[in-house]
Amino acid sequence: MRDKRGFTPAGAFLLKSIHIAIRSSPSFSQSPSPSQLRRSFSASASSLRASMAPRDPNTLANYGEWLTKHTTANFKINFEEQRLEGSVVLELESLTDRLSREIVLDTNHLSVQSVKLDDSSDSKWALKYRIEPYGAPLSISVPEGVAQGRVVKLDIAVETTKDCAGLQWMTLAQTGNKKHPYVYSQCQAILARSIFPCQDTPDVKSTFTFNITSPLPVVASGVPVPSDSTSKDGEGGKLFRFEQKVPIPSYLFALASGDLETARIGKRSVVATGPEALQAAKWELEDDMDKFLAVAEKLVFDYQWGEYNVLVLPPSFAYGGMENPIFTFATPTIISGDRQNVDVIAHELSHSWSGNLVSCASWEHFWLNEGWTTYLERRIGAAIHGEPQFDFSAIIGWKALEDFVSLFGADNEFTKLIINHKGVDPEDAFSSVPYEKGFHFIYYLDRLVGRENFDKFIPHYFKTWARKSLDSFEFKKTFLDFFENYGNAEIKEKIAQIPWEDRFYKPGLPPKPEFNTAYVDSCLALAEKWKHEDYKPSASDIESFNANQTLVFLQAVQNFASPLSAERSHLLGTTYSISSSKNVELKSAYYLIALRAGDKKELSGIVDLLASVGRMKFVRPLYRKLNEIDRDLAVRTFQENRDFYPSTTKGQIAKDLGLK
Ligand code: BES
Ligand code: ZN
C-alpha cells in the first residue's frame, strides 16, 4: 500500500485524511507503537531496516526498499538563467528480498529530463502528482527487481526551476560589492529535493562527489579535491570538485558560488566571504576558532571531517548558521565587530558531532540534533568563559522557549519534545522548543547521573551512533544500557525513575532547574530600576555589560507587565546607544520594546532593518509586533522586500502576517 501512496489525487486525499485521523488521536503520540518498540531494540543494519516501515513521515521515497549509498552531483551553475543544470547519479542498494520493482525519490519543482537505470536507454519513469507540502514523487520502474544487496545506478538529467526553494540567487545589485552574482543553497529541512531527486530524509546517509562548474569560486559540503589536477576551464567556467567520504543525509548537501575569498582563522579553518568583508570576518572569528575546536574534541572525540570552515553569506540568509559539513554557512550579522555573536560558531561546530555525525532519524526527533548541540555549545561556552556562562546562555534560551510556548499555546503539539510530523511541513514546526526543551532534557540527565559520569556517556553515545541516524527510543535505550552496565547501584536506581513518557510527550515548558544567576543579576537589577518612571539612566549603567548581558536586560524590559512610554523607550535606546549599534541582536531586541511602547521615531530604523536582514530569528518577531501596531506598514514593508527574502522566510512571514 505504501508504494502507491499519493500516486493519484485520490491517494493524496487519503493521505491527508489519515494524517488528520492520526493527529487527532491522543493515544498515538502518547506511547510508542509496536514498530517503534521493536525498532528500539534493533540495530540499524540495512537488512533490519528493510523489514520496518520507514519512520520518516516527511519523505515520499520508499527508502525501506532502497538505500542511497553514493551520490554524484554534476552541476553547471548558470547565473544568467538562475538555475543548476546537469545530472545526479545515485547508487542505490536493494534492501529487500521481495524484488522491489519501483524506486521512488523525492522531488520538488524539479525539471527532470531523463532517467537511465544502469545505462539502459529506455528506462520507464514518471513524475507523479504533487502531495503538499512534500512535492512530486519521481517513480522509476525496475522491471525485474534486483536481489537484496545489489546496487543499481540511476543517472538522472535534471535542472532546477524558478520555484526552487533550496537555492537563493542574487543579482549583482543584491551582493556586497555589486560586481558579481551569487548563489547559495539551504537544504534543511526538506529542500534538498528542490535541487536534485533524492531520498530526502535524515534517515538515509550517502557519501557524495560534487562536480560543480562555475565562472566564480565554489564551496560545498565536501573536501576540495586539489585544483591543479582537476580544475580546468571549460564552457561555463571552471570545474570545482569535492568529495564527502563521511556519509551524510541529503539535508547537509550544500554549495555556494560567488566572489569569494578566504582568510585563515585557525589551524584547520578558513573564513570565506566577499573580499570587501574578509578582514572584518577574519578578526571576528580568529580568536575563538581553535579554542572551540579544542574544547569540543576534549568533550566528545577527534573532529572527523578534516577541515572546519565558515562561509559568511549575504544578509538575506534566513538563519544564524547552518552546519553544512566542511563549510558552516553563517549570517553576516555575527560579524558585529565585537566578537559577541561567535556562540553561533560554537553551535554549528558542535553539530559536527550532534547532527552531522549522529543524526536524528526524522524531523520528529529533531531535538536529538538541536538539543544535544545546544548542550555542547553551552559546555564550550563554560569551558572558555567560566561555569556561570553555561547558565547565562541557558537563561537566555529559557526566555526564547517561554516566548514560543506562549506563541504556540502550552498544549500545542509543536511544544512537545517528540513532535508528530505526519502531514506537517517541518518549517512550520520549527521553533526554540527542540533546542531548549532538548537541552533541558540532556542537562537533566547530566545532573541526574552527575557530570563526571555523564562525561563518560558523551563519547560513548557519539561513537555508538557515528555515521548513523537514530530516534528518541534508540537514544533512551543507549542511555539506559550504558548506565545499567556502569556498575553504580545509585545511578541505576536513579535512571529507573526517569519519566521518559512525560519528557518525550508532555507539551509546554519542561521543569525549570535552578539557574546560577551570577551573570544576570546586575542586568535584572538594572531592569528593575526602569520600572520606576523617574529613573534617570546614564551610559555608565551598562558600561560593564557584555552584549549578551545587555540582551538579558532588554529581554527583561520586554517582559514588563506594562510597556514603557514612547519617550522612555526612546531614552533607553539613545542613552545606551542601542539604536545606533551594529549588533543586530541588540537592535532587534530594542526595537521590540520600541514597538510595544509605540515609539514612532524608531519606525524608519525598523523598516531599514527588515529590508536589510533576512535572519528569521530577528525579522519574524519584528514583523509580528509591527503587524499588531501598524499593519499597513508591516504589509507594505513585506511587499517591498519580498524578493530579498529566501522563499521559506517569505512563506513564514506571509503566514505571520495572515497573508497566506
Ligand atoms: N540547523 C540549524 C538551522 C536550521 C534549522 C535550518 C532547521 C533549517 C531548519 C542551525 O544549527 C541552528 O540551529 N542555527 C541557529 C544558531 C543558534 C542556535 C546559535 C540559528 O540559526 O539561529
Ligand atoms: Zn543547530
350 lines ligand 1 (CB under 6 A): no
For 413-418, the CB contacts below 8 A with 24+ separation are 413/23, 413/29, 413/507, 415/507, 415/508, 416/29, 416/504, 416/505, 416/506, 416/507, 417/367, 417/371, 417/441, 417/472, 417/503, 417/504, 417/505, 418/29, 418/364, 418/365, 418/367, 418/472, 418/504, 418/505
Q: Are 596 and 299 in contact (CB under 8 A)?
A: no
Of 319, 327, 649, best ligand 1 pocket probe by most atoms within 8 Å of the beta carbon: 319
65 annotated active-site:
no
Ligand nearest to the CA of 190: 1
Check pocket membership of 426 for ligand 1, CB cut-off 6 A: no
DSSP 303-368: --SS--EEEEPPTT-SSSEE--SSEEEE-GGG--SSS-STHHHHHHHHTTTBTTTEEESSGGGTHH
> What value does the CA radius of gyration of the chain take, rounded to a whole number of Å?
25
Looking from the CA of residue 427, the nearest atom of ligand 1 is 9
Which candidate, 87, 217, 91, places its Cα nearest to that of 157? Answer: 87
pLDDT of residue 5: 30
Task: Specify the residue with its C-alpha closest to ligand 1, atom 5.
Answer: 188
Query: What pLDDT was estimated at residue 584?
Result: 96
Q: Whose CA is nearest to atom 19 of ligand 1?
A: 344
397 in ligand 1 pocket by Cβ < 6 Å? no
Catalytic residue flag (residue 435): yes
pLDDT at site 23: 28
Q: How many Å apart are CA 331 and CA 313, to the nearest integer?
A: 6
- Write out the three cell numbers for 411: 498544549
What pLDDT, on the 0 to 100 scale, is given for residue 650? 95
What atom in ligand 1 is closest to the CA of residue 318?
A: 21
For residue 522, the one-letter residue type is S
pTM of the predicted protein model: 0.91
Q: What is the pLDDT of residue 233?
A: 67
- The pLDDT score that the predictor gives to residue 88 is 98
Residue of 435, 519, 590, 645 with catalytic role: 435
Report CA(322)–ligand 1 centroid distance (Å). 6
> Considering only CA atoms, which residue is closest to atom 17 of ligand 1?
344
At 28 the pLDDT is: 27
Assign residue 231 a region (left: φ > 0; alpha: ψ between -120 and 50; beta: otherwise). Answer: beta
Is the beta carbon of 252 within 6 A of some atom in ligand 1?
no
- Ligand 1 within 6 A of 323 CB? yes
Is residue 404 within 8 A of residue 398, CB to CB? The reply is no
348 lines ligand 1 (CB under 6 A): yes
pLDDT, mean of each 10-residue run, the chain (660 residues): 30 32 29 35 41 83 97 98 98 94 98 95 94 98 94 98 97 80 98 98 98 98 79 78 98 98 98 97 98 98 98 96 98 95 98 98 98 98 96 96 96 98 96 98 98 98 98 98 98 98 98 95 98 96 96 96 97 95 95 97 97 96 97 97 93 95
**Least distant ligand from the CA of 329:** 1
